[in-house]
Amino acid sequence: MTTDLSAAVETFVQEAREQLEGLEAMLLDLETGTDRDRVDAIFRVLHTVKGSGSMFGFGALARFTHHFEDAFDGVREGRMQIDNRLIDVSLRARDHMTALLDCGGDNPEAARLEASDEAASLLATLAAIMGKGPASAESKSSPARAALPQREVVFRRWSIRFHPDAAALRNGMRPDLLMAELAALGEAEIRLDASELPVLAELDPERSYLAWDIILATAQPRDAIEAIFLFADDAALEITEIFQETQETADTVPTVPTQQPKAQKTAVVPQEPPAARVPQANAGSSENVRVPAGKLDDIMDQLGELVIAQARLHQIAAATKNADLESIVEEVERLVTGLRDATLSVRMLPIESVFGKFRRVVRDLSVELGKDVALAVEGGETELDKTVIDRLSEPLVHMIRNSMDHGLEDAARRQASGKPARGKVTLSARQEGGEVLISIEDDGAGLDTDAICKRAIERGLLAADAQPNPAEIHQMIFAPGFSTASTLSSVSGRGVGMDAVRSAVEALRGQTEIVTVPGRGTRVTLRLPVTLAIIDGFLVRLGQSVFVIPLAAVEECVEFEEAERGRESGRTMLQLREHLVPFLDLDEVFSRPRSTEARRRVVIVKADGQRLGLVVDDILGQNQTVIKTLSIYHRHIAGLAGATILGDGAVALIIDVATLARRARVAQRQIA
Amino acid sequence: MQNTLQARDKPAPAGGPEPEMMLIFRLSGEIFALPVSEVHEILDPMPTTPVPGAPAFAPALINVRGAIAPLIDIRQRLRMQAMPASEQARIIVLELSVNGAATRLAIIADAVEEVIETDRAALKPVPELGARWPEQYVTGVARYGDSLVILLNTDTLFRPDAGPTFQV
């Protein structure tokens, strides 16, 4: 039972965390406009966290959330307006809820938080916004009560019978917590009904035989009582108001909290039937399965091994020339490919999940920097491997800070140069071939090329008489330690520099690019592979060595014309139908002895928006390539994206086509 | 067979640090020792994949049971001449921390001798041997039979060369 319970608590914490993440976005949405649905959605989240929090031993969280919920109840009822003040305090309150959740339950840490100045200040602010004194902020508002004059508190008495199902304890119900919460509503007289308890010999320790009878005197409305039992739905619950005059007896409600006794004048009809809320809270679990990311990684590792084993099988089968065996191997290969695609797709997440966080970052920074900044997000639905997304979050935050702190000018300077006072940061994502491009663009002042150049010379990154082109200069901001230069206000970072961004992106086998227009703004683009784990590879041979070209980049293969080979070096263009395509001899790229083979081939690849020919000795075919990152000794070699193990156990290097394309472009420029 | 390394001049002081297990191997006519705690396994020679553009110190990759490990030629760091591989050549796979990251790598050895027990405190500092060995890569020398064994400093020996090159 204990393990069941802790698993249930874990699920609660995870779900609550997601709810709170969503809550942040919802609160930020209020800034762009409010409607009934948005407010209701916020109210539902608060209500769910409160209800399930008290159920799973997060009393402090539930108590705090109660006040927060109160405020939104007020908004729902139209008694309160949504303004910036409310959004501010709500965001802070959300953070406080997250902190309480992180405590892991009602422990000293939670108690400390509950008694902290921040909590007090939040409650006071909430109460002030609601136009009440702190004392009455304690009382739950409801339409009926709202009409009453302030401070007139009416106590009513309720008779409650709570009878958990036999399996309730096994399912993680905590009657002790429910009773404690009930007692917190007012004065409660709780009696335990143990009459169903069997003799010890027949007792099943995991079964619940108990029931409770409670007389509660409280100023809270009926739905506050029902809310406590909202998630204790595997129990019979009867709630009856005891009228002072008549002592009217129970109208029994079997599994409340759906029905409302009509006789009660003071009873409040909830805004929506609570029954509708319960499935809402559980909707996620019925259609989706929650899997720890670690398990996905294990599956991926196993799949990698499977792919390698399958490649060996393929090779051996091909050698034996047994048609039956070969057809089975083909079948296995097809299944492995399907399994691979399915597994990869499970790992793919829309980048929106990380973009969403930045709205808060932008909002907080706007306040901190005193700059009015609008954040625009495009292409949030673009999908990326979970690992990539996880590791991108920090570099992106850093880049946004850079854009806002140093890219965007202050309002006065913006207006002086004819721009709107409000700055704009655009975050966008899109897929292009096997890469995902993520851009962060600001409409600020642009990089100060002269200042960067000067600084680079000072730091010895550039020769004093160098004539670098602007693109080369802009790359300088990615040099280690460069951005910490305090004299360079347009690019200097806070703490970590752009080099940290670049190394994070390179660790993901990605690239960074920067485009800046003086006075107009700066755009930094991160090019990232869609997945880190397995790709379709195109095997080519150079001498005795095998290399892998990512198949996604391959467009076609052509014979390498003798005529081309005979030409003087310097001619690096290939006539491909009506187009001229630049080409690179991989022997040259990898400083290998020049090939003497008679029939060579050119693999035409597309990368970085351009076509490029790669000259190889032979084409060996396709395979599934499990990408292994290169060690610290080889990670920085240009033109290599990683290594993989082939069917025969040999190690093959994976060619980084994008880097070669850039190299070809540089070579073209030098010739021109 | 278990020997004990003797410091060249004086015996190991009593109550010194715990003795450490060392793997003794030969390379290009010299004898080296590495802490056994960092040795993962010892393999027979296998095909290697040269890495174009790699430093001479880490020229190739090998497949160690499905994982790819860089093959390190420590002779590059120790200013030794490369020699053709011997009959008893082995690949020693190490697992250690390089720049703070757990790393699996392999080194070439002409022959693996044995595992012995030693006491680091009893080791002589290097300068006595003159400039023969770059001192940052060696923690000490000790007597081993009739000859000397060089204790490698695995902290510095496998550190990659200075920072990444600047890419366009």
Q: Which chain A positions have a beta carbon within 8 Å of B167's beta carbon?
A: 636, 638, 659
Which residues, including other chains, have CB under 8 Å from residue A198's CB and lie 6 or more apart? A209
Chain A nearest CA to B11, separation (Å): 40
For the ranges A497-501, B45-49, B79-83, the lowest mean pLDDT is seen at A497-501
Q: Residue B53 and residue A637: Cβ atoms within 8 Å? A: yes
Of B58, B61, B168, the CB nearest to A643: B61
pLDDT for res A668: 64
- Give the chain A residue nearest B66 (alpha carbons): A645
- Give the chain A residue nearest B58 (alpha carbons): A633
What stretches in chain A show pLDDT beneath 70? 1-5, 132-154, 244-287, 433-434, 480-497, 531-533, 562-571, 608-609, 667-672
* Two structure tokens written together for B83: 């020699």
pLDDT for res A400: 87
CA dist., res. A417 & res. A372, Å (int)? 16
Which residues, including other chains, have CB under 8 Å from residue A571's CB and lie 6 or more apart? A564
Of A305, A589, A649, the CB nearest to B63: A649
- Give the chain A residue nearest B56 (alpha carbons): A633
Helix/strand/coil (H/E/C) assignment for every residue in chain B:
CCCECECCCCCCCCCCCCCEEEEEEEECCEEEEEEHHHEEEEECCCCCEECCCCCCCCCEEEEECCEEEEEECHHHCCCCCCCCCCCCCEEEEEEEEECCEEEEEEEEECEEEEEEEECHHHCECCHHHHHHCCHHHEEEEEEECCEEEEEECHHHHCCCCCCCCCCC
Of A308, A636, A650, the CB nearest to B49: A650
A16 in Cβ contact with A101 (< 8 Å): yes
Q: Residue A638 and residue B53: Cβ atoms within 8 Å? A: yes
Chain A nearest CA to B53, separation (Å): 6
Say what the ipTM of the complex is: 0.82
Neighbours of A50 (CB within 10 A): 24
Residues facing A240 on adjacent strands = A159
Tally A–B CB contacts below 8 A.
81
- Give the chain B residue nearest A472 (alpha carbons): B168
Helix/strand/coil (H/E/C) assignment for every residue in A209-220:
CCEEEEEEEECC
Chain A nearest CA to B72, separation (Å): 9
Q: Which chain B positions have a beta carbon within 8 Å of A643's beta carbon?
A: 49, 61, 68
Q: Which chain A positions have a beta carbon within 8 Å of B48's beta carbon?
A: 651
Q: Residue A634 and residue B103: Cβ atoms within 8 Å? A: no
pLDDT for res A289: 76
B144 in Cβ contact with B122 (< 8 Å): no
A349 CA to centre of own chain: 8
pLDDT for res B107: 94
A190 in Cβ contact with A183 (< 8 Å): yes
Q: Residue A650 and residue B168: Cβ atoms within 8 Å? A: no
pLDDT for res B119: 65
- Give the chain B residue nearest A627 (alpha carbons): B68
A346 in Cβ contact with A296 (< 8 Å): yes
B43: contact with A, CB 8 A cutoff: no
Chain A nearest CA to B80, separation (Å): 20
- Give the chain A residue nearest B50 (alpha carbons): A545
Of B62, B66, B168, the CB nearest to A662: B168
Fold adopted by A156-268: Alpha-Beta Plaits (3.30.70)
Domain B21-157 homologous superfamily, CATH: CheA-289, Domain 4 (2.40.50.180)
Inform me whether the pLDDT recorded for B155 exceeds 80.
Answer: yes
Q: Which chain B positions have a beta carbon within 8 Å of A666's beta carbon?
A: 168
The mean predicted confidence, pLDDT, of chain B is 78
Residues facing A611 on adjacent strands = A606
Q: Residue B163 and residue A475: Cβ atoms within 8 Å? A: no
Q: Which chain A positions have a beta carbon within 8 Å of B63's beta carbon?
A: 645, 649-651
B16 in Cβ contact with B155 (< 8 Å): no
Chain B nearest CA to A236, separation (Å): 57
Of B62, B72, B168, the CB nearest to A666: B168
B63: contact with A, CB 8 A cutoff: yes
CA dist., res. A381 & res. A537, Å (int)? 27
pLDDT for res B126: 53
pLDDT for res B148: 83
Return the domain boundaries, chain A: 2-143, 156-268, 293-349, 351-529, 534-671
Q: Which chain A positions have a beta carbon within 8 Å of B62's beta carbon?
A: 651
Inform me whether the pLDDT recorded for B111 exceeds 70.
Answer: yes
Chain B interface mutation, best of A503, A592, A633, A669, highest count of B Cβ atoms under 10 Å: A633
Chain A nearest CA to B126, separation (Å): 27
SS3 A440: strand
Q: Which chain A positions have a beta carbon within 8 Å of B95's beta carbon?
A: none
Beta-carbon-side half-sphere exposure of residue A184 (alpha carbons within 13 Å):
17
Q: Residue B98 and residue A632: Cβ atoms within 8 Å? A: yes
Q: Which of A348, A483, A489 is nearest to A409 (CA)?
A: A489
Does A534-671 carry CATH code 2.30.30.40? yes
B99: contact with A, CB 8 A cutoff: yes
Largest Cα–Cα separation, chain A: 111
Q: Residue B52 and residue A651: Cβ atoms within 8 Å? A: no
Q: Which chain B positions have a beta carbon within 8 Å of A480's beta carbon?
A: 163
A405 in Cβ contact with A361 (< 8 Å): no
Chain A nearest CA to B75, separation (Å): 16
Neighbours of B107 (CB within 10 A): 23
Return the domain boundaries, chain B: 21-157
B56: contact with A, CB 8 A cutoff: no
Q: Residue B49 and residue A628: Cβ atoms within 8 Å? A: no
Which segment, A230-239, B8-17, B122-131, is predicted with the most confidence on average? Answer: A230-239
Q: Which chain B positions have a beta carbon within 8 Å of A635's beta carbon?
A: 164
Task: Please give the backbone phi and psi of residue A200, each rounded to the nearest 5 degrees, phi first.
Answer: -55, -40
Residue owning tokens 């004093």: A464
Domain A351-529 homologous superfamily, CATH: Histidine kinase-like ATPase, C-terminal domain (3.30.565.10)
Of A633, A639, A651, the CB nearest to B55: A633
Q: Taken in order A145, A147, A150, A153, is the CA torsion positive or negative?
A: negative
Per-residue pLDDT tens over the stretch B50-60: 999 898 889 99
Chain B interface mutation, best of A301, A632, A656, highest count of B Cβ atoms under 10 Å: A632
Range A2-143: architecture per CATH:
Up-down Bundle (1.20)
Chain A nearest CA to B54, separation (Å): 6
Of B53, B66, B105, the CB nearest to A631: B105
B166 CA to centre of own chain: 30
